[in-house]
Amino acid sequence: MSLNAKQEEICSENKTDFSDIKAVTVNCSLKRTPEESHTGLLLSVSEEIMRKNGVSVEHIHALSHEIPSGVYPDMTEHGWDSDDWPKLWKAIEVADILIVATPIWLGETSS
């Protein structure tokens, strides 16, 4: 998604060097494929602003990975066939910025 005029202006006026900053964004959209979702579109604006300001950004679409429920760092040691969390954690652990984007369904009954 492209930035609006005001966002572009703010980015172009920035004088601070953020090239040593690493960010990881986690898209927790309910859509299984990384197709456009409202969560993803909103997150893409934040990512683009950071990139235009020199921040290195890594994007993770949570449902594109095997992330089993549990409380252990590697759930394959506790009965799960696969667990991508240890690999994802390596990127998150070294990040200076972590953004977790989740959907909001206003007016919908939750479970």
Encode the chain (111 residues) as per-residue pLDDT tens digits. Answer: 789 999 999 999 999 999 999 999 999 998 887 777 889 999 999 999 999 999 999 999 999 999 999 999 999 999 999 999 999 999 999 999 999 999 887 766 666
Asked, for residue 69, whether it belongs to a domain, the answer is yes
The full length of the chain comes to 111
Does the pTM surpass 0.75? The reply is yes
Asked, for residue 19, whether it belongs to a domain, the answer is no
Asked, for residue 11, whether it belongs to a domain, the answer is no
Asked, for residue 16, whether it belongs to a domain, the answer is no
Asked, for residue 38, whether it belongs to a domain, the answer is yes
Torsion sign across C-alpha atoms 77, 99, 19, 41: positive
| Domain count across the chain | 1
> What does the block give as tokens for 92?
């998150």
Asked, for residue 51, whether it belongs to a domain, the answer is yes
